[in-house]
Amino acid sequence: MPLPQKAGCWTEWFDGDDPSGMGDQETLHNLREENLGKICPDPQGIEVMTTSGISMVAAGEMIAFADSTTGFICKNEDQPDKECFDYRVRFSYRSATDPVISWTEWFDRDNPSATGDWENTINLKKDYPGVICEIPLYVEAVTIDTMTPAMATGQNILIFNPTDGFVCRNADQQNQQCFDYKIDPKI
């Protein structure tokens, strides 16, 4: 079975199941539900290793699925010893040089309750590892309730660019209160 080795950005490793019962099932469907927002809608590749760090090929087991549509399934019944290893998986995405990419996901990681609404790239990358993997080429920001573009709200926005993301500080506003914004970085 070929291992997709697509260059680009990888999610973190996921180990959502262990091989008790039917086997080790790291399906995209289950991993998405357990890791909200951490796996993009359309991954291009999957990499599989045992939790002890052996590649899937080196492990040499009969694997039912290992693709970026289904995810990974190893069935205990397919193995001579009736037991799969415990595997972990990660997914890859197109690189920034791929022209067909388009994010449609909005990110809202912060609320303006403390010092402001911090939707900046550094924190977004921390909260959504692998999802925002390249420097976006442009970014949109709107209020979460009425979808009003940031520039139309009349608020003083401290940072609003594709590299750094978006920051609205409460202290910069006449009423000391930013709206709650969400941003959509596109690469």
**Binding site residues, Ca ion, CB under 5 A:** 15, 17, 24, 86-87, 108, 110, 117, 180-181
Tokens of 78: 């397919």
Residue pair 151/161 in contact (Cβ under 8 Å)? The answer is no
CB of 110 to Ca ion, least distance (A): 5
Which residue, 74 or 101, has its beta carbon nearer to Ca ion? Answer: 74
Instruction: Rank residues 61 and 110 by Cβ distance to Ca ion and give the closer one.
Output: 110
For Ca ion, give the closer residue by CB, 15 or 83. 15
Angle of CA points 139, 180, 126, to nearest 5°: 60
Cβ distance 28 to 39 under 8 Å?
yes
What is the smallest separation between the CB atom of 171 and Ca ion, expressed in angstroms? 17
Q: Which of 162, 175, 178, 163 is CA-nearest to residue 111? A: 178
Minimum Å gap between C-beta 118 and Ca ion is: 8
- Tell me how far, at minimum, the Cβ of 70 lies from Ca ion, in Å: 15
Give how far Cα 111 sits from Cα of 167, 177, 178, Å: 11, 11, 9
HSE-CB of 78 using CA atoms within 13 angstroms = 15
Give whichever of 127 and 134 is closer to Ca ion, judged by the CB atom: 127
Q: Name which of 180 and 184 has its Cβ closer to Ca ion.
A: 180
In the complex, the smallest distance separating the C-beta of residue 18 from Ca ion, rounded to whole angstroms, is: 5
Write down how long the chain is. 187
Closest C-alpha to 90, from 44, 153, 137, 52 = 44
Closer to Ca ion by CB, 101 or 118: give it: 118
Q: Distance from CA of residue 13 to its chain's centroid? A: 11
Q: Give me the least distance between CB of 166 and Ca ion, in Å please.
A: 8
